[in-house]
């Protein structure tokens, strides 16, 4: 599964780059945000107990999962995934290493394990992995735009 982790890792040397016209976050802050999000989502999914609570229809989730895109500037990060201003490249590698370990654990859990996303509701293992791909892809596109600015 391509979680975008290796591509995120490839941008660590550019952590200090900032383009305020594109994003108020630096490249490193986007990388840290993705890492923090994965380090919250993955342990929760691994620790979950089947069966999952009933999932309700969620039109926002449906559109985002269908298109594979999150609109820019629309989402709000939960407190535990807000990055640190001035994050250094050296702080990012250990976080991404931890995420790599968690992603391997997630791939090994049964399909009926679940995670409750604050906006998308209940996601089973496969939908959670899809969310991670979509979320990281969203931030990778922003990173690319920052570096092109």
Count structural domains, the chain: 1
The whole-number pLDDT of residue 1 equals 60
Please provide the DSSP assignment of the chain as one string.
Answer: ---SHHHHHHTGGGTT---TTT-SS-HHHHHHHHHHHHHHHHHHHHH--SSPPPPPP-HHHHHHHHHT---TT-----GGGPPPTT--HHHHHHHHHHHHHHHHHHHTS-TT-EEEETTTEEEEHHHHHHHHHHHHHHHHHHHHHHHH-
Position 117 confidence tier, pLDDT thresholds 50, 70, 90: very high
Position 121 confidence tier, pLDDT thresholds 50, 70, 90: very high
Q: What are phi and psi of 141, to 5 degrees?
A: -65, -40
- Domain range for 55 is 5-148
Residue 55 has pLDDT above 90, yes or no: no
Task: Supply the mean pLDDT for the chain.
Answer: 95
The whole-number pLDDT of residue 91 equals 96
The whole-number pLDDT of residue 148 equals 97
Q: CATH number of the domain that 141 lies in?
A: 1.20.120.450
The whole-number pLDDT of residue 75 equals 78
Residue 97 has pLDDT above 80, yes or no: yes
The whole-number pLDDT of residue 52 equals 87
The whole-number pLDDT of residue 2 equals 80
């Amino acid at each position: 599964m391509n979680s975008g982790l290796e591509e995120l890792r490839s941008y660590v040397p550019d952590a200090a780059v900032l383009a305020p016209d594109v994003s108020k976050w630096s490249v490193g802050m986007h990388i840290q945000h993705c890492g923090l999000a994965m380090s919250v989502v993955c342990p929760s999914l691994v620790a979950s107990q089947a069966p999952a609570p009933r999932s309700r229809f969620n039109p926002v989730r449906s559109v985002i999962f269908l298109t594979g895109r999150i609109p820019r500037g629309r989402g709000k990060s939960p407190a535990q995934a807000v990055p640190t201003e001035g994050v250094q490249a050296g702080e990012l590698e250990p976080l991404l290493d931890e995420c790599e370990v968690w992603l391997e654990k997630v791939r090994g859990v049964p399909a009926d394990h679940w995670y409750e996303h604050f906006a998308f509701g209940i996601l089973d293992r496969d939908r959670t992995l899809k969310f991670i791909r979509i979320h990281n892809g969203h931030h990778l596109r922003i990173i690319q735009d920052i570096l092109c600015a």
